[in-house]
Amino acid sequence: MRRILVIKHSALGDIILSLPHLTALRAAHATDRFIVATTAPYAGLMAASGLFDEVWVDPRAGLTRPLQALAWMWRLRRGGFQRVYDLQGTRRTRNYYRALAGTGVEWVGNAPGCSHHHPDPDRPVHITLHRRRQLERAGIHEISPPDLGFLTADLDGLTLPARYALLVPGGAAHRPEKRWSVAGFTSLAQRLVAQGCTPVLLGTAAESEVLAAIAGACPGARNLGGRTSLGQLAALGRGAEAAVGNDTGPMHILAAVGAPSVVLFGGASDPVQVRPWGTRVVTLRAARIEDIAPERVLTALAEVTDPAFPDTPRPDREPVRG
Quick one: 160 and 242 in the same domain? yes
Instruction: Read off the pTM.
Output: 0.96
pLDDT in tens, 267-276: 999 999 999 9
The SS3 of residue 35 is strand
From CA 156, how far away is CA 138, in angstroms rounded? 45
Quick one: 24 and 118 in the same domain? yes
Quick one: 96 and 130 in the same domain? yes
Q: Residue 306: is it exposed, middle or buried by C-beta count within 10 angstroms (0-12/13-18/19+)?
A: exposed
Quick one: 80 and 34 in the same domain? yes
Quick one: 300 and 164 in the same domain? yes
Quick one: 177 and 79 in the same domain? no
What's the confidence (pLDDT) of residue 268? 95
Residue 284 DSSP one-character state: E
- Mean pLDDT of the 101-112 span: 96
From CA 252, how far away is CA 117, in angstroms rounded? 28
Q: Is residue 37 part of a domain?
A: yes
> Is the distance from CB of 97 to CB of 84 less than 8 angstroms?
yes
Q: Is residue 316 part of a domain?
A: no
> Is the distance from CB of 257 to CB of 238 less than 8 angstroms?
yes
What's the confidence (pLDDT) of residue 35? 99
Write phi, then psi, for 281 (nearest 5 degrees): -135, 130
- Mean pLDDT of the 210-220 span: 98
- Mean pLDDT of the 183-209 span: 97
The angle, 0 to 180 degrees and rounded to 10, between the axes of the packed helices 208-217 and 182-194 is 40
Q: Is residue 160 part of a domain?
A: yes
Q: Is residue 183 part of a domain?
A: yes
> What mean pLDDT value characterizes the chain?
96
> Is the distance from CB of 148 to CB of 253 less than 8 angstroms?
yes
Quick one: 188 and 300 in the same domain? yes
Is the pLDDT at 11 greater than 50? The verdict is: yes
Residue type, 308: A
From CA 171, how far away is CA 53, in angstroms rounded? 32
From CA 18, how far away is CA 88, in angstroms rounded? 10
From CA 255, how far away is CA 248, in angstroms rounded? 11
Q: Is residue 15 part of a domain?
A: yes
User: Beta partners for 198?
Assistant: 164
pLDDT in tens, 32-66: 999 999 999 999 999 999 999 999 999 999 889 99
Q: Is residue 317 part of a domain?
A: no
Q: In the structure, how many helices (H) and strands (E) does the chain have?
A: 11, 12
Query: ω before 99 within 30° of 0 (cis)?
Result: no
Is the pLDDT at 321 greater than 60? The verdict is: no
Quick one: 35 and 117 in the same domain? yes
Q: Is residue 151 part of a domain?
A: no
How many domains are contained in the chain?
2
Is the pLDDT at 102 greater than 60? The verdict is: yes
Is the pLDDT at 78 greater than 50? The verdict is: yes
What end-to-end distance do the CA atoms of the chain give, in Å? 48
Quick one: 174 and 48 in the same domain? no
Distance of CA 25 to the CA centre of its chain: 18
Identify the domain boundary among 136, 165, 185: 136
Quick one: 204 and 100 in the same domain? no
Distance of CA 80 to the CA centre of its chain: 30
From CA 118, how far away is CA 132, in angstroms rounded? 11
What's the confidence (pLDDT) of residue 319? 67
- Mean pLDDT of the 143-161 span: 96
Identify the domain boundary among 104, 136, 168: 136
Q: Is residue 150 part of a domain?
A: no
Quick one: 10 and 106 in the same domain? yes
The SS3 of residue 194 is helix
Cβ-defined contacts of 200-203 (< 8 Å, 24+) = 200/160, 200/164, 200/165, 200/166, 200/167, 200/224, 200/236, 200/240, 201/167, 201/169, 201/225, 202/166, 202/167, 202/168, 202/170, 202/228, 202/233, 202/236, 202/245, 202/250, 203/168, 203/169, 203/170
CATH number assigned to the domain comprising residue 291: 3.40.50.2000
Residue 289 DSSP one-character state: G
Domain ranges, residue 205: 156-304
Quick one: 54 and 110 in the same domain? yes
